Structure 1
Amino acid sequence: MGAEGICITGIGLVTPAGQDLVSTWRTLCAGRSLAATDPALTGLPVDFSCRVKELQVEQEVGPQRARRTDRFTHLALAAARRAVLDAELEAHRWNGERVGIILGVGSNSLETYPTEFRRLTDGKPTAVSPWAVTRSVPSTVAADLAIELGAHGPVFTVSTACASGATALGLARDLLRAGTCDIVLAGGSESGRAQMTATCFAQIRALSRRRDRPHLACRPFDLDRDGFVLGEGAAILVLERATHARRRSKAPRALLRGFATTSDAYSHAAPHPDGMGAERALRAALADAGCGLRDVDHINAHAASTPLGDAAEAAMLRRLFDGTTPPVTATKSVIGHALGASAAIEAAVTVQALQHQAVPPTANLETQDPGVELDVVTTELRRVPMNVAVSTSFGFGGSNAVLVLSTP
């Protein structure tokens, strides 16, 4: 093993599959997509999504903050509180100067801007909300968590498109290794259910068009895949050095052993067809962890259900593992694509896979693409003895990020 392992001592999840770790895992293990018609997207070419239901926003964040912040902040605050509780920490009682927060956000929130722009174009600049900027810029979510939790160390957001959550976790790992912080809350939060977001992704034909059967729309690695389903959610992981966790007698859920990120430097939206940038990231992350390819027991794939993306990732994995890949799953098949939050959610799910020694199934894989020569878990939960698991994440602009996680 390489450098001292970074412990994951707490996880907070808010996803379409549940508002905590246990319910999210249970729903994922059922292997059925949660995509459904979304009232927020009525009238659009693609009018369905995977959404977080029954989140009591005012109870979670308070009435005033609920009015002054957008949904990606609501989701992050809820997840952060769950993560701190799971880690058996007490915010404001810790040494806040040694606590950092790094969150991945794919873009600024597009909930607020259409309303405010409409007021401006209607000739009513004084009607524009004074909170329009602070509620929507990406840095808002990290700042709100810092205010809520009394974190006075490094606090910022990162944006590497759909790899943002993994990038945040990797940078948090670096802060801990450098001794800059004792505790870092890291992960991602995003809601893709704004009408502008849905319209933009539909215009570039990234979304599935199965409006008549949305629950069958997201089908990673399937021969008939035609795009992803928008989702939302947040995952916050509490990271500490092993020595720090031991001092407070907190057993870790898992270790973050390796991380690497690369760029395709190829296209704004399409992955490089040979997946060489993704392969470099995976090789580098394993080297960082002190692991080899034969040590990998499970892969949580990016697998967004796009024709080009799935093909490039599958070809890369087959080539790298010489045709004998470990069991693969695709979390987005059940809960959709939460954009900048997706990588953090999938990291949390991978931790659960390690803890339960089981791989949840991929939904809607009816006819596996002949070009996808992978051992994709389908139909039901598969029990798999495992010590090391990999979570892969790729984003627009050619961002590749890979996390290597292991049992403690």
Structure 2
Amino acid sequence: MLTEQILSNAQVVTADRVFNGTVVLRNGLIVEVDEGRSRLPQAQDLHGDYLLPGLVELHTDNLEKHMTPRPGVDWPSTSAVLSHDAQIIAAGITTVFDALSIGDVNPKGNRMKKLPGMLEAIASASIAGLTRAEHRLHLRCELCHPDTLSVYRDLVEHPLVQLVSVMDHSPGQRQFALESKYREYYMGKYHLNTEQMDEFIVFQMANSREFSDRYRRAIAEDCKARGLSLASHDDATLAHVEESASYGMTIAEFPTTMEAARGSHRLGMGVLMGAPNVVRGGSHSGNVAAADLAKEGLLDILSSDYYPASLLQAAFILATQDNGCELPQAVGMVSRAPAHAAGLDDRGEIRIGLRADLIQAKNQDGLPVIQQVWRQAKRVF
């Protein structure tokens, strides 16, 4: 039996314009997009709110906060996944790539031990139909960890894995070109004293020399063979960017400088920046501001990173700034562009024939407030 919904009197945000209109959903797909209000009695009146495509999130470690809500506290995994999922869908994110970190840069951490349980909890909750967003997996590979390659090979076979990124968080690399910044960040975050920090730096630099180049090459070759999307992370120089492009990477996550962003864009890599960077007005670690990249036409994709609700808010903020970016283009950075970058061409836009992943949002003094969310035409929020 055909199931049909009519969403009317909405400010419909398509790929290139915003208009008051009506969108018809049938069997999980968008089947009509028209200007004007529907006169049919069964049409749902959205009262002039925005109707937007469901958001696509490529890089969030939000699940980790639910798995370990406090230091030393391990929360039951299925409960943690469902709490994370509820927060994701409430932010309007209908497709999420949960980032699982392979290789722990925290000398006191136990991320590696939790990986199999996290993966299984996501998979089992999804299979059981308990999650409201569609969950896929993003393997974040810390190249300077001795066990990264073997763990990657164990996890990459999972059918939910669709995106991989490679990174080297050791002193002198990418994000931490200055050892002083590295010391400041890790001593503050992990509460290390000077002696512990000295030992950790020696350990990380030795591991980087031994493993990083070899692991980067092996993972890149494996991703190419499997047809997985591959991302760089924290590239800072043109040399970094050219190396990433030579390995077939198509997404540049969080380039730290204008030079790296410009080079990534020129070489056809989608430049991904943090939505919190936009909302806060700049990088918390002193790197290039996402808004500055947008002004230069170098920003392609936004990620909520550590704060899910930042994603849609950042799009609305960008649309108000002097950067030549109107709302349809800004919304595309959190829907169409990330979907395409991950090889998902069936979603990310309000267009006939695509999945009916949609958001109703009220504009409250510039803040988009989520009212309803549909995933494949099923209301999930």
Q: Which one has a bigger Cα radius of gyration? A: 2
- Do Structure 1 and Structure 2 share a fold, with TM-score over 0.5? no
- Which structure: greater strand fraction? 2
Q: Which has the higher contact order (CA 8 A, sep 6+)?
A: 1
Structure 2 length-normalised TM: 0.30
